[in-house]
Structure formats: C-alpha cells, structure tokens
Amino acid sequence: MATPKQDWTTSAAKWIAVGILGSASITGIVWTIASRPQPTPPTRAEVAPDPVASEPDRAARPGSLDAGAKAQVQAETKPDPTPPRLINVNIASAAELELLPGIGPTLAARIVADREANGPFASLDDVARVRGIGPRTVDKIRDLAMAR
C-alpha cells in the first residue's frame, strides 16, 4: 500500500521557503534603493523661474526669489557677451566658411575656388559674385564675416 503524499504547505518546508523568498525580496529592494545614483541639488542658476510671477504674495512664499535675486540669477545665466571671431573670407578654409549661416559645403568650395581664380574679395559685397550667393546670403553673414 502506498503512503499518502505529504502536502509541503503544511510542513516546515513552507516556512523555510517563506523565509528564503522574503529575505531575497527585501535584499533586492534594499540593493535597488542603495545603488540608485543620488540626484545633485540644482544650483541657483539652474532654478527655473516661478510661472506665477504676477501673484502679489509671491515674495512671501518660501523659496521664491525677490527682484534683486531674480536679476542676479538672470545675470549669472546670460551667455558671454564677447562677440564671436569674424571669419575672413579671403583666408578662411572651406570648413571655416561652412560655419557661416547659409553657406554649405558646395558654396564654401565655390568661394575658395573663386578666390583662387579671381583673387581676394575687396569687400564682403564682392562675395555675391560667387554663383549661388546673392545679396540675402551676404546680409546673413555680414555680422560674422569680413573681407580684408
């Protein structure tokens, strides 16, 4: 005669399984929390302005900026006012000319070829003699380029 199978849920094996699985899940949760990178607090210049700037009690709320602090934050985040270096179309390489707005690789190669064939440009307006460059393109590059 066969002995009846013993149900494992009624024996000590159940409590061993509960202990192993419970400690494994707790260990996993703790490891996930501990290994997460800690966020760095934002610096004063990275703080976004309050979208409700017109509220009369804005200065009374904690964490809000008064007008002086707001001006200081804006001054810290402004880009450097130093003007960019002007590109001389008479000596610039094709790669440098491509940095100008509206000038791609084809137009840059044409500028270099025209300069080599016809000599240097007397003024920036002379760049319009290059096929594909018109007065509007010259106006786009006027603040960023020169011809000397």
Regarding predicted confidence, which is higher, 70 or 30?
30
Regarding predicted confidence, which is higher, 118 or 51?
118
Torsion of CA 122, 124, 130, 136, to 10 degrees: -150
CB 110, CB 89: distance < 8 Å: no
User: Is-above-0.75 flag for pTM?
Assistant: no
- Please state the length of the chain: 148
- Nearest alpha carbon to residue 129 among 117, 143, 111: 111
| pLDDT score recorded for residue 52 | 53
What pLDDT band is residue 36 in, cutting at 50, 70 and 90?
confident
Whether residue 112 has pLDDT greater than 90: yes
| pLDDT score recorded for residue 104 | 92
> From CA 74, how far away is CA 43, in angstroms rounded?
13
Regarding predicted confidence, which is higher, 142 or 45?
142
- Nearest alpha carbon to residue 121 among 79, 80, 74, 88: 88
Domains and CATH numbers, the chain: 87-146 (1.10.150.320)
CB 137, CB 103: distance < 8 Å: yes
| pLDDT score recorded for residue 18 | 86
> From CA 90, how far away is CA 116, in angstroms rounded?
9
Residue 26 φ/ψ, nearest 5 degrees = -65, -40
| pLDDT score recorded for residue 7 | 75
What pLDDT band is residue 43 in, cutting at 50, 70 and 90?
low
Whether residue 85 has pLDDT greater than 90: no
Report the alpha-carbon angle 76-79-81, nearest 5: 110
Cα-atom radius of gyration of the chain, to the nearest Å? Answer: 35
Percent of the chain with pLDDT over 90: 37
86: left (phi over 0), alpha (psi -120 to 50) or beta: beta
Stretch 51-72: mean pLDDT: 55
Whether residue 148 has pLDDT greater than 80: yes
Whether residue 45 has pLDDT greater than 60: no
